[in-house]
A = this chain, B = another copy of it.
Amino acid sequence: MNKTKPKYKQIIDAAVVVISDNGYHQAQVSKIAKQAGVADGTIYLYFKNKEDILISMFREKMAVFSESVQPLIEKETKAANKLLKLIQNHFSILAQDPNLAIVTQLELRQSNKEIRLLINEVLKEYLKLVDTILKDGMETGEFAQDLDVRLARQMIFGTIDETVTTWVMNEQKYDLEELAPKVHQLLLKACQS
Contacts and interface: CB of A to CB of B under 8 A. Distances in A.
A179 B151 contact: yes
A25 to B, nearest CB: 6
Interface string A156-172: 01111111001001000
Interface residues of A, number: 36
Contact of A113 (B110, B111, B179): B110
Interface of A: 23-25, 106-107, 109-113, 116-117, 120, 148, 151-152, 154-155, 157-163, 166, 169, 179, 182-183, 186-187, 189-192
29 contacts: A106-B113, A106-B116, A109-B109, A109-B110, A110-B110, A110-B112, A110-B113, A117-B169, A148-B186, A151-B182, A152-B186, A154-B159, A155-B159, A155-B162, A155-B163, A155-B183, A155-B186, A158-B158, A158-B159, A158-B160, A158-B161, A158-B163, A159-B159, A161-B162, A187-B190, A189-B189, A189-B190, A189-B192, A190-B190
Given A24-B113, A155-B158, 12 more contacts: A25-B112, A106-B113, A107-B113, A148-B182, A151-B182, A152-B186, A154-B159, A155-B162, A155-B163, A157-B162, A161-B162, A162-B162
